[in-house]
Chain A
């Protein structure tokens, strides 16, 4: 009888799911992803999380609750750091404990550490300790690890070629959100945490809305690592949050690109790093650019009117300005 490992569709799922899935598959372990976010999942999460946690964490708890009675294990690696001398948000670090203390009757959690902060630390450590729980054969773990790295690489290449994570993560690759969309005449860069902008419920379907308004959407995740790191290097001091470094770097990059007509920064209410990234983008990345920038804050509210008004007005502004630039280009 094979065992099933549950993976919540939340937090860093959007970056690492293909890798995790491949790894477990190679060990003969089935994976099960929680269902797409619904109001029910979010409400469950909000009810059983401490009040101070941010919305994405509450949502992630909801996703764990969606899984916990259907799987044998839940995979919640304790992600401390994914790059040297950088950190992931401390809430990620404490996430397995938050889950353990708030939900009863949990299946065993796989919460081994992923910590690449120090010199000499390696990603393999995580996979080795996880793999050991399912097989005693180190060669098999190594092979699974190698396959998983290949899958991660593929995932990154896929994103760099312009796909969005939920499109490459989803089992049904052909089920793309933009099938019904006609010609897009403007390009909008959406800068935000993957778990905020790709979750259709939390983002109130922002990406689809933008596409419906005729925008071609690009995100920070479509940039290769060396590009956003180079761009983020323009800040006077380096950020030690990996995710926000990506966001700021992408903002620098997209403000410079002539084909990008505007940027939207999406922050979740109550996120410390986000509130700072917003400022950094406004102050540094935008310094030499006149491109429109919209700051959106998302939280628990389900009223879509506020979001729709802002997006509509933003698109009007982008088009209006471009028209004027076109006129100027013809006459001067």
Chain B
């Protein structure tokens, strides 16, 4: 038995997917990154190995997400791809004919427009993080609500409260104000969902033609309140795929299949989960740029470096270990 591994290391979650040769998902894992991407990748690999039949052989690895280079070095990925491409690929495979992808993750949100199965336009949130998963997380914590309960609670709302969604900081003060006025929690949560959707459509989705079918994915798609708010704002149904939270990893696995076509994999095996990786860094004093160089060490040996603008450090390593 053979399989392809896809790893998506995001700001909030680290996801892994193992697909069979036909692209169907055999196993998926969703972990919180908690600011420790290396450990989470290792932990994920351990979980993955434990859950798989022993004779399964990984013949391709793809990584994506903001930590894709890191994960790529650790696992020996065959392909390292940005998250927009992987999300688009996964979606158009899971739901052929999809024309709009709404993706809201931990610290970014994006909209991808597909026409005839090909990405024709995309946008990501700019310098503002309002309307992303982290914000919902924070507000849920402030109201003492588990993020898992957020969606069901918001669905109980009868009259969603209007909350300013332009800026996360002001949304918060608006929310506190509404709370003090005596509005009940479900109505506030539903109002928050609607505010985020409004902000998303005005900011990320600005000027984009949102055609059906629409797929809503990313960690925030777990929130039923957000799905309902999107449906209300768009006026047509929004589909949440069953593997909505690992779509990036799924796309990476699919790309790995393409990349290893007639080639052997660079996968270093599940054993890397037990090796000792350390990320260190230093500020290069070579010029006034003072680049923050990152070093990835495996058992005391440097296997990758990046972050320098001039290439002085990253080029000093062998070609194979060099990233970006």
A-side residues, CB < 8 A to B, are 38-41, 201, 205, 269, 282-283, 290, 292-293, 295, 297, 299, 301-302, 305-306, 308-310, 312-314, 316-317, 320-321, 324
Contacts and interface: CB of A to CB of B under 8 A. Distances in A.
A39 B288 contact: yes
Nearest to A308: B324
Interface stretch (B53-61, B119-127, B213-221, B264-272): B119-127
Given A305-B66, A308-B324, A316 B82 contact: yes
Contacts, number: 69
Contact of B119 (A205, A290, A320): A320
Interface in B114-148: 116-124, 126-127
A316 B288 contact: no
B306 to A, nearest CB: 9
- Name the residue among B81, B83, B288, B324 with the largest chain A CB count within 10 angstroms: B288
A295 B123 contact: yes
Nearest to A290: B120
Nearest to A317: B119
10 contacts: A38-B287, A38-B289, A201-B309, A282-B207, A301-B127, A302-B292, A313-B85, A313-B122, A314-B122, A316-B82
Contacts of A297: 126-127
A205 B309 contact: yes
A295 B127 CA distance: 12
A312 B290 CA distance: 25
B127 A310 contact: no
Main SS of chain A's interface residues? helix
Nearest to B306: A304
A40 B126 CA distance: 26
B289 A40 contact: yes
B84 interface: yes
Contacts of B287: 38
Nearest to A201: B289
Contacts of A313: 82-85, 119, 122
A293 B119 CA distance: 12
Contacts of B85: 312-313, 316-317
A177 to B, nearest CB: 13
Nearest to A212: B324
The 7 closest A-B pairs by CB, nearest first: A40-B288, A313-B84, A38-B288, A312-B82, A317-B119, A309-B82, A316-B85
Kindly state the interface size class of chain B when it binds its partner: 20 to 34
B105 to A, nearest CB: 12
Main SS of chain B's interface residues? loop
Given A313-B122, A324-B118, A40 B82 contact: no
Given A292-B121, A317-B121, A317-B122, 20 more contacts: A38-B287, A38-B288, A40-B290, A282-B207, A297-B126, A297-B127, A302-B292, A306-B124, A309-B83, A310-B84, A312-B85, A313-B82, A313-B83, A314-B122, A317-B84, A317-B119, A320-B118, A321-B119, A324-B116, A324-B117
Contacts of A316: 81-82, 84-85, 119
A201 B309 CA distance: 9
Interface string B66-103: 10000000000000011111000000000000000000
B290 A292 contact: no
A39 B118 CA distance: 39
Nearest to A324: B118
A38 B290 CA distance: 9
Nearest to A41: B288
A309 B119 contact: no
A295 B3 CA distance: 38
B66 A309 contact: yes
A308 B324 CA distance: 9
A293 B113 CA distance: 12
A40 B289 CA distance: 6
A39 B286 CA distance: 12
Contacts of A39: 288-291
Contacts of B121: 292-293, 317
Nearest to B110: A313
A278 to B, nearest CB: 10
Contacts of A295: 123
Contacts of B120: 290, 292, 317, 321
B248 to A, nearest CB: 12
A269 B127 contact: yes
A201 B324 CA distance: 17
A188 to B, nearest CB: 15
A316 B122 CA distance: 11
A292 B119 CA distance: 9
Nearest to B119: A317
A154 B289 CA distance: 33
